Chain A
C-alpha cells in the first residue's frame, strides 16, 4: 500500500505538487491520471525517495522509501525506460541491480524470460527499440519480486501490441495481490488498464475513485432543456424513459440524444428556449484545472474513449516526452 499525506513539491516559486493526499491499495491496478506537467513524475520520484518533498510525506507499507532495507525487494519501479547505460548489455544492467540488493543472479535470467528479452540479453541496451527498453525497465522493476510496483507512462510510444502486453501484465500483477500504481495522461488508456484512479491536475488532487465511476461521470452526456412549457416537456421525456432532473430554470436530460429531444418537442408542439449539450461536471473541472488544449483533445471528449482506444490501439496523441 502506498499512502501520501499532504505531499508537496516546490521548485522556487513553481508548485509542482500541491498538498496531495491519496492511498493506493493492494490487489488493484490504480491509475495515476493527469495531463503532462501535472506532477505525476515528480510524485513518483518522491515515492521513491529520489526527490525530497517540500512538505508532507509518502509511505510504502508504513515506511519511507529511504528507510527500506534492500528496497528492490519491496518496491519495483519503471520511471524512465532510458535510465540504462547505452553501452551496457541488458543482462549486465540487471546484473548490477540484482547484486545491489543481494538477489541471486538466476533472477536476472528469470525476469529476462518473463519480459521476453532472453534472446537479446547480451546486446547493448542503447540499440534497443522503445518497446524493448520498456520491457527491460519492467524486468528491472520485477527483479526483487516486489509487492509494490510503480510505472510512469509505461505505454508511451508503444505499438498496439506492446500496449496490450503491458495492460495484461499489470492486471496479472494486481491479480497476484500486488499494489500496482501506473501513471498516464490518457483517460482512454486508464479506462482500460486501471480499476482505481487518482486524478491530479496542476499538482492538486482532483478525484480518487473507481475508474468506472470516473468514466461514467466524465463521459456523461446531458442535454439542458429550457422551455416555457416545462411540465409538458417533462412528462413527454418521462414517457420516453429518459433520466430527467430539474436544474435552476430548466431540465437536465440524460440517456437521450439532443436530436431526439428536439424531435420530441416538435411532435408535442412544445416551445423550446434552449436545447444544449452539457459535459459531465467532473470532466469540466478536470479540463479547467489542467487548462491544456492538447490534453483536452487527447481526452476524447466527443467520442467514447473506450471505443476510440479499441479501434485506434495506440492512444498516444501527444508528441514524445512527458
Chain B
C-alpha cells in the first residue's frame, strides 16, 4: 500500500497526467457529441456513442508511457530504486497505479460519451441493459487498463520517451491495420493481434436491437468470444509486463 501511495503522489504531482486525461475526455466525448449531432439517419445507440474510444485510448497510452519514461529521462527511477531496492515491487506499484487510473479514465470517457449522446438525442434508447452494452461501456475501463500496462511495459523496456511513444503509437495505430494488406496471410495474422482482439471484446456479439453494422466502431472478426478476447488482451499485457520487470531487475539502473 505504501508503494501505491508513493506512485500516486508521483503521478499526480506532475502536469502531464492531468492534461492527458483532459485530452482523452475531450476527444472521446467530443466525438460522441459529433456523431450524435451529425448523424440523423441512424438512431443513436450505445454502440454509436462509443465511436471515439480508440482516440482516448491513444492519449491514455501516451500518458502511461510517459509516466515511466520521464522517470528514466529525469533520473527519478534511480532515486526510486534507491528508496525501494526491490525493483519489481516498485515497478508493479507504478503499473498498478497507472493502469488503475487509466481504467478510471476509460469508464469516465465511456459513460461520459453515453451521457452526452443522451443530452443531444433525448429520445434515443440509451439504457444499458444487455451484456453487449455493458461490455461496450464498462469494458472500456478494462481495455484502457490493459493498454496502459502494455504502454508501461514498453516504456520500461525502451526507456526513451520519444522511442517508446512512437513504438506504442505506430504499433497500435498503424501496424495492426496495415498488416491486413499483406497478401493471403495478412487477414489471418491480424485476427490475432492484441489491439484488434481487444476490439472484439468491446464490439463483438452485438445484440441486433442495439447495433446495426453501420453504428459503432468497426467490429473485429477474431474467432474468440468477447471474454476470450479480453483474456487474450490482458494476458498479452501481463506477459509483456513480466518481460519488462525481469529486464529492469537485471540491468543497471
Chain A positions near chain B (C-beta within 8 angstroms): 45, 48-52, 65-68, 71-72, 77, 79-80, 82-89, 92-93, 95-97, 99-102, 140
Q: Which residues of chain B from 51 to 110 have a CB within 8 Å of any chain A CB?
A: 70-71, 74-76, 78-86
Q: Pick the contact of B79 from A52, A68, A95, A140 — CB < 8 Å?
A: A140
Contact B14 A88 (CB under 8 A): yes
Contact A99 B9 (CB under 8 A): yes
List the A residue with the shortest CB-CB distance to B15: A87
Cβ of A68: which chain B residues have Cβ within 8 Å of it?
85
How many angstroms from the CA of A184 to the CA of B100 in the assembled complex? 44
* Nearest 5 A/B pairs, CB to CB: A83-B75, A92-B13, A51-B252, A100-B83, A66-B85
State the Cβ distance, A74 to closest chain B Cβ, in Å.
Answer: 11
List the A residue with the shortest CB-CB distance to B77: A83
Contact B85 A71 (CB under 8 A): yes
Residue B253, interface by CB 8 Å: yes
State the Cβ distance, B217 to closest chain A Cβ, in Å.
Answer: 35
How many angstroms from the CA of A71 to the CA of B83 in the assembled complex? 6
Cβ of A83: which chain B residues have Cβ within 8 Å of it?
74-76, 78-79
How many angstroms from the CA of A82 to the CA of B82 in the assembled complex? 15
Contact A96 B9 (CB under 8 A): yes
Give a binary string over B1-45; 1 marks a CB under 8 Å from any A CB, 0 the rest: 011011001100111100000000000000000000000000000
Contact A50 B81 (CB under 8 A): yes
Cβ of A51: which chain B residues have Cβ within 8 Å of it?
252-253
Cβ of A77: which chain B residues have Cβ within 8 Å of it?
82
Cβ of B85: which chain A residues have Cβ within 8 Å of it?
49, 65-68, 71
Q: Pick the contact of A49 from B10, B13, B70, B81 — CB < 8 Å?
A: B81
Contact B84 A100 (CB under 8 A): yes
Contact A52 B82 (CB under 8 A): no
Contact A45 B252 (CB under 8 A): yes
Give a binary string over B220-245; 1 marks a CB under 8 Å from any A CB, 0 the rest: 00000000000000000000000000
Cβ of A99: which chain B residues have Cβ within 8 Å of it?
2, 5-6, 9
List the B residue with the shortest CB-CB distance to A71: B85
Contact A100 B3 (CB under 8 A): yes
Contact A97 B74 (CB under 8 A): no
Cβ of A72: which chain B residues have Cβ within 8 Å of it?
82-83
Cβ of B70: which chain A residues have Cβ within 8 Å of it?
85
Query: Given A77-B82, A140-B79, are A85 and B3 neighbors across the interface (CB < 8 Å)?
Result: no
In the complex, which of the residues A45, A87, A95, A100 has the most CB atoms of chain B within 10 Å of its own CB atom? A100
Known: A49-B82, A87-B15, A140-B79. 15 other contacts (CB 8 A): A50-B78, A65-B85, A71-B83, A77-B82, A82-B74, A83-B76, A85-B10, A88-B10, A88-B13, A88-B14, A92-B9, A96-B13, A97-B83, A100-B83, A100-B84
Contact B76 A84 (CB under 8 A): yes
In the complex, which of the residues A86, A88, A101 has the most CB atoms of chain B within 10 Å of its own CB atom? A88
Contact A100 B2 (CB under 8 A): yes
How many angstroms from the CA of A83 to the CA of B71 in the assembled complex? 9
How many angstroms from the CA of A84 to the CA of B77 in the assembled complex? 10
State the Cβ distance, B189 to closest chain A Cβ, in Å.
Answer: 37
In the complex, which of the residues B14, B74, B83, B252 has the most CB atoms of chain A within 10 Å of its own CB atom? B83
Cβ of B76: which chain A residues have Cβ within 8 Å of it?
83-85
How many angstroms from the CA of A97 to the CA of B76 in the assembled complex? 10
List the A residue with the shortest CB-CB distance to B3: A100
How many angstroms from the CA of A49 to the CA of B6 in the assembled complex? 20
State the Cβ distance, B239 to closest chain A Cβ, in Å.
Answer: 25
Q: Pick the contact of A100 from B6, B16, B78, B252 — CB < 8 Å?
A: B6
State the Cβ distance, A174 to closest chain B Cβ, in Å.
Answer: 22
Contact A89 B13 (CB under 8 A): yes
How many angstroms from the CA of A71 to the CA of B84 in the assembled complex? 7
Cβ of A85: which chain B residues have Cβ within 8 Å of it?
10, 13-14, 70-71, 74, 76
List the A residue with the shortest CB-CB distance to B252: A51
Cβ of B78: which chain A residues have Cβ within 8 Å of it?
45, 50, 79-80, 83
How many angstroms from the CA of A52 to the CA of B74 in the assembled complex? 21
How many angstroms from the CA of A136 to the CA of B158 in the assembled complex? 29
Contact A95 B74 (CB under 8 A): no
Cβ of B5: which chain A residues have Cβ within 8 Å of it?
99
Cβ of A65: which chain B residues have Cβ within 8 Å of it?
85
Contact B252 A50 (CB under 8 A): yes
Query: Given A83-B74, A99-B6, are A48 and B13 neighbors across the interface (CB < 8 Å)?
Result: no
How many angstroms from the CA of A92 to the CA of B8 in the assembled complex? 11
Contact B13 A50 (CB under 8 A): no
Cβ of A52: which chain B residues have Cβ within 8 Å of it?
252
Give a binary string over B113-132; 1 marks a CB under 8 Å from any A CB, 0 the rest: 00000000000000000000
State the Cβ distance, B210 to closest chain A Cβ, in Å.
Answer: 44
26 intermolecular pairs with C-beta atoms under 8 Å apart: A45-B78, A45-B253, A49-B85, A50-B78, A50-B81, A51-B253, A83-B74, A83-B75, A83-B76, A83-B78, A83-B79, A84-B75, A84-B79, A85-B14, A85-B76, A87-B14, A87-B16, A88-B13, A89-B13, A95-B13, A96-B9, A96-B13, A97-B83, A99-B9, A100-B80, A101-B83
